[in-house]
C-alpha cells in the first residue's frame, strides 16, 4: 500500500464518520506507510509486551502496534474519535481504548510508549514519562522540540528541557519527518525520537525539586552570567554565603552543562542542610 492510499483511506474515513479535524487538539493524522513501518521498527516490539499509545488518531498506528504486541492501551481525548474507533477497533482483543486527557489521567503500566503526539502536549507527556516507570518511548514530536531535547550547551536550542531530559533519560533523534507524511500537513517538520528513561541518572542530584527550581530560574535569564539569576534565586544573604564555592559565576547560564548545574544545586542543598 502506497502512502497516497493511506491518505485516501483517511480522507474517506473522516467523511464517512463525519469527523472534523480539530486544530485546537492539534490533530495531524499519520498517512505515510513507510514512516509507520519505521516507527514499528524503531519500537523493537515483541509479542509479550504491552504498549501505551497517546492519541489514537485515525487508528492506523494503533492497529500496526496491535499486530506486534500482546496489548495496546491507547488514549484518545476527542470524544467523537473515541466513539468511532470504539466501534471499529473495539472487537480487537489486543486493543484497549481509553477516553481522556493523557496529561491528566492515570496511565496503565506498560513496557513501552509509542505515540504521534499533538505538539501542544509534548512537554507534559515527556515529564510524565520521566516520572513514570515506562522504560522507553518512541515519540513523534515537533522537530524543534526534538532538537531541544538533544541540544548541546551554548546553542540556541539548549535550555531547561535539555537539562531535565539529560538528567532523567537518554534521548536520540532518529529522523526528521516532513509535513507531507500527515493529514492535514502541519506547518513545520516533525522528528522521531527515542527516549530511554534512566533508573539511575548519570549525575548526582541531591534534591530534585531544588534542582528543577534552580534550572527554571537560571534559564529565565539564559544569556546572563550565572551570578545575576542565582543571586535573585537565592537572595543576597544566601548568595554571599555560597559565592566562593561556585566556580562558574562569571559564565553565562547557557554555557553550563547539566552536570555543572546539578553541582550548583547540590552546593545549595548542602549549605541549607547544615
Mean of pLDDT values over 26-39: 96
Nearest to 185 by CA among 63, 3, 52: 3
The residue with cell 532538537 is 147
| Cα end-to-end span (Å), the chain | 66
d(CA 72, CA 113): 10
pLDDT on residue 1: 40
Nearest to 254 by CA among 232, 227, 221: 221
Task: Give the whole-number percent of the chain exceeding pLDDT 70.
Answer: 99
Q: Taking the alpha carbons of 242, 248, 251, 257 in that order, is the dihedral positive or negative?
A: negative
Q: Which domains, from first to last, does the chain contain?
A: 3-197 (3.40.50.150), 208-273 (1.10.8.100)
Task: Give the whole-number percent of the chain exceeding pLDDT 90.
Answer: 93
Q: Is the pLDDT of residue 146 over 70?
A: yes
d(CA 135, CA 46): 15
pLDDT on residue 199: 84
Mean of pLDDT values over 149-155: 96
pLDDT in tens, 193-215: 999 998 888 899 999 999 999 99
Local confidence band at 155 (pLDDT 50, 70, 90 cut-offs): very high
pLDDT in tens, 40-63: 999 999 999 999 999 999 999 999
pLDDT on residue 4: 58
pLDDT in tens, 11-21: 999 999 999 99
pLDDT on residue 138: 98
Q: Which residues contact 199 (CB under 8 A, 6 or more apart)?
A: none
- Tell the burial category of 139 from Cβ atoms under 10 Å away from its Cβ (0-12, 13-18, 19+): buried
Q: Is the pLDDT of residue 251 over 50?
A: yes
Cell of 49: 509486551
pLDDT on residue 274: 84
Amino acid at each position: 500500500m502506497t502512502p497516497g492510499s493511506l491518505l485516501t483511506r483517511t480522507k474517506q474515513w473522516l467523511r464517512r464518520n463525519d469527523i472534523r479535524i480539530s486544530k485546537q487538539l492539534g490533530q495531524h493524522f499519520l498517512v505515510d506507510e513507510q514512516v509507520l513501518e519505521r516507527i514499528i521498527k524503531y519500537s523493537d516490539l515483541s509479542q509479550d509486551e504491552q504498549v501505551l499509545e497517546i492519541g489514537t488518531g485515525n487508528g492506523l498506528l494503533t492497529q500496526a502496534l496491535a499486530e506486534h504486541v500482546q496489548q495496546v492501551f491507547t488514549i484518545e481525548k476527542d470524544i467523537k474519535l473515541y466513539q468511532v474507533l470504539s466501534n471499529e477497533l473495539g472487537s480487537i482483543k489486543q486493543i484497549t481504548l481509553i477516553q481522556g486527557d493523557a496529561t491528566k489521567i492515570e496511565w496503565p503500566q506498560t513496557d513501552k510508549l509509542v505515540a504521534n503526539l499533538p505538539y501542544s502536549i509534548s512537554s507534559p507527556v515527556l515529564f510524565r514519562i520521566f516520572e513514570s516507570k515506562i522504560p522507553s518511548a518512541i515519540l513523534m514530536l515537533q522537530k524543534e522540540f526534538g532538537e531541544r531535547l538533544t541540544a548541546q550547551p551554548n546553542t540556541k536550542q539548549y535550555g531547561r528541557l535539555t537539562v531535565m531530559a539529560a538528567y532523567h533519560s537518554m534521548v536520540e533523534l532518529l529522523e526528521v519527518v516532513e509535513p507531507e507524511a500527515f493529514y492535514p500537513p502541519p506547518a513545520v517538520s516533525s522528528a522521531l525520537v527515542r527516549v530511554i528513561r534512566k533508573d539511575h541518572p548519570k549525575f548526582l542530584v541531591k534534591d530534585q525539586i531544588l534542582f528543577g527550581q534552580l534550572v527554571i530560574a537560571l534559564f529565565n535569564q539564559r544569556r546572563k552570567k550565572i551570578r545575576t539569576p542565582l543571586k535573585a534565586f537565592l537572595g543576597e544573604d544566601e548568595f554571599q554565603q555560597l559565592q566562593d564555592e561556585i566556580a562558574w559565576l562569571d559564565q553565562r547560564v547557557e554555557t553550563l552543562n547539566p552536570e555543572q548545574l546539578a553541582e550548583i544545586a547540590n552546593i545549595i542543598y548542602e549549605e541549607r542542610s547544615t
